[in-house]
Amino acid sequence: MDKIIYPRSPREVMAGWTYLPRFVDKTRLHLAGRLHSDYQENFCKGFDGAWLNAAGITAEQFIDVVKNSITDGEVTDWVMKNVNKTEAEKSAFREHILNRGKEEEMKPRLKMRKEQSGLTHRDDILTMVDYIDADEKRS
């Protein structure tokens, strides 16, 4: 598996949830046996796990939903029906995802990731989402 198929940006939104479209893409790639090794270690962990936790569902439930859907619309419908969280809860999750990396304890990890990817010259990368978008050539 040499060619990386990049999932959507963590900034994208589905069913009111930031990050969900990316997790759907990663799950579809996983199910097709095409999730690149760079993503496999953290599949259903990290930001994926944070979404599962915020949504109150298991990885197995989510994988099954994606496996049995053809479109994003079907996933959206399932999430809207089965994940009953308030707008405030979704907003708190969005803020957590979009600001991850600004915390003092995360700054060394973000710095390490930038170094590993040859992005130390990018002063505009302040969060893990900024890093992901830059590393995946979106910014």
Angle of helix 59-67 relative to helix 20-31, nearest 10 degrees, comes to 70
The reply to whether the predicted model has a pTM over 0.85 is yes
DSSP, collapsed to helix, strand or coil, labels residue 44 as coil
On average, the pLDDT of the chain sits at 97
Is residue 2 predicted with pLDDT exceeding 80?
Answer: no
pLDDT tens digits, residue range 70-105? Answer: 999 999 999 999 999 999 999 999 999 999 999 999
What per-residue confidence (pLDDT) applies to 3?
A: 87
What per-residue confidence (pLDDT) applies to 117?
A: 96
Token pair for 101: 């990396």
Is residue 58 predicted with pLDDT exceeding 60?
Answer: yes
